[in-house]
Amino acid sequence: MQILSKMVILALALAAVFPSASAPAQAPKIPEAWLDGATDWPKPDWMSLTAKRLEKAKRVRKPGPEIELLHVRAADLLERAASTTDNRFRFERLIGAVNSLLDAADRIAWARKAERTPQEKDFWGAGFVLQGCYFRVRQAPYFAALTKDSQSEQVVTLARILYQRGRSAYDAREYQRARFLGDASSLLVFALECIAQAAIPDPHIYP
């Protein structure tokens, strides 16, 4: 009798710990915000957002000739983007180029404010960044030729200058400044790549 009682108690304990497989697990409740699906989320107005960003960037005091050049190029590309809203691929590539130019301008401004004293840390990190930027800058003339835009050569020249400044900063152990300048050079090449893609006559990417 005692053995039977113990077996009953053990069976009840196991049932409490391991629920019956026949009882389906209750599905987690989905929040109301997920019900419509990702496709129904409102899309950002990239034209408006990028225009506001450009106007804010232009209000910076004493930007210098390099940043002013990037702002002028960004304004030209934004105007081109406004006339290509019927072609989603071309529009997105031009907006990407504008934002990349503005990102590069930010890095140039940050490099000016970066510490100019030798640093002990980030020797390897900054070195790997500059290594990637070197190969990226080597691609700049190729993308510039595909843009069919004579002003692209100015961007190529600036990308090379910024990379060389980054190398000089790295040699001086100014690793944070080296990163900023290297990033700026790479961002300029990405802008050229976007412009080159936008110059494709009829990409047939989107319906």
- Alpha-carbon span 95 to 74, nearest angstrom: 9
Q: In this structure, is residue 60 part of a structural domain?
A: yes
206 is a domain residue: no
Does residue 197 contact residue 124 with C-beta atoms inside 8 Å? no
pLDDT at 95: 95
Q: How confident is the chain (207 residues) per 10-residue block, as mean pLDDT?
A: 49 48 43 43 76 91 90 95 89 95 95 83 81 94 93 95 95 92 96 94 61
Torsion angle of alpha carbons 114, 120, 124, 127, nearest 10°? Answer: 40
Position 25 in a domain: no
Give pTM, 2 decimals.
0.75
| Token pair listed for 39 | 């496709």
If one counts the domains in the chain, the total is 1
4 in a structural domain = no
Domain that holds residue 63: 46-198
pLDDT of residue 125: 80
Is residue 3 included in any domain, yes or no? no
162 by Cβ neighbours in 10 Å (0-12 / 13-18 / 19+) ranks as buried
